[in-house]
């Protein structure tokens, strides 16, 4: 499993639409995101979109865990290695 410090995403620049890699850790810590192509720093809308996606993903994973536990008797202790 990846540590959060090592996870990156392709981040779309809101100004020039260039996609570049940004660390999730940098986004979570509120670091300034600077486009390497046009030097834009106006990334608030994209960061909010990514945060909403993570929240939705978290809810989906919680629902999957509950479903697996209810149907197959699996718990977090049984599924981690």
Q: Tell me which DSSP letter residue 4 carries.
A: G
Low-confidence ranges of the chain (pLDDT < 70): 1-2, 4, 42-46, 74-81
pLDDT at 77: 56
pLDDT at 38: 92
The 3-state DSSP class for residue 30 equals: coil
Contacts of residue 66, defined as CB under 8 A and 6 or more positions apart, other chains included, come to none
CB hemisphere CA count around 20 (13 angstroms): 17
The 3-state DSSP class for residue 9 equals: strand
pTM of the model: 0.48
Decide: 14 and 40 in contact? Cβ < 8 Å.
Answer: yes
């Amino acid at each position: 499993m990846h540590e959060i410090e090592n996870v990156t995403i392709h981040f779309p620049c809101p100004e020039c639409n260039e996609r570049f890699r940004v660390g999730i850790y940098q986004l979570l810590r509120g670091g300034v995101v600077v486009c390497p192509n046009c030097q834009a720093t106006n990334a608030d809308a994209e960061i909010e979109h990514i945060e909403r996606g993570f929240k939705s993903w978290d809810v989906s994973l919680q629902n999957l865990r509950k479903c697996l536990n209810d149907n197959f008797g699996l718990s977090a202790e049984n599924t981690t290695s």
